[in-house]
Amino acid sequence: MKQMDIQQLLEKYYAGETAPEEERRLEDYFLSDGSTDERREKDRKLFRALHEASREVPKGVSARLEATLRRLEESGQPFRTHTLWRWAGSAAAVAILCAGIFFATRSDMRQPAVADTYDNPEEAALMAEKTLRYVSDKLNKGLEQTYVVEHEMGKMNEVIEKTFKTNN
């Protein structure tokens, strides 16, 4: 299958516009042992995962499950999910309590929220000024580019307006 065909089918597939036959062609392509293009590696992984997930449930499993559920329902025994949830909730509460105690008693966690990185205030002021100058330079470069684009867009709008005026 040609790479152009694959690309077009993938675009249709991701847009949700493929027919079942086209999806089978894509699946056959990506599941074949032939090496796929490195650009298509993510697509190949997706189709392999979908193929593995689409395996059928063995016959009779559904009927056995329904029969077991009916039998439990008819026996009148309550499901034991409430007990399970109580145990799980208790275990989670104990785990949170232990984690809280652990982190509260750690001495290395008791550091001040804000610590000075410079001992000399003049040095800190110079570094702050240098950093602000750097940010300002980068911002100005970005703004210059937007001004150029804005100017070019203005020229294009003038040409478009002239074209419409002459056509009408």
Q: Is 148 exposed, middle or buried (0-12, 13-18, 19+ CB in 10 A)?
A: exposed
**For residue 34, what pLDDT is reported?**
64
The segment with the largest mean pLDDT, out of 31-35, 59-63, 134-138, is 134-138
Q: Which residues of 150-164 are buried (b: 16+ CB within 10 A; e: fewer)?
A: eeeeeeeeeeeeeee
Tell me the pTM.
0.33
The reported pLDDT for the residue numbered 40 is 80
pLDDT of 79-125, one tens digit each?
566 667 777 888 889 889 888 887 777 765 555 556 678 888 899 89
Q: Which two tokens stand for residue 147?
A: 């001004």
Structure confidence by residue, pLDDT tens digits, 28-37: 888 886 656 7
Residue 133: how many CA atoms within 13 Å on its side-chain side?
6
Q: Say how far apart CA 93 and CA 82 lie, in whole Å.
A: 16
pLDDT higher than 80, residue 130: yes
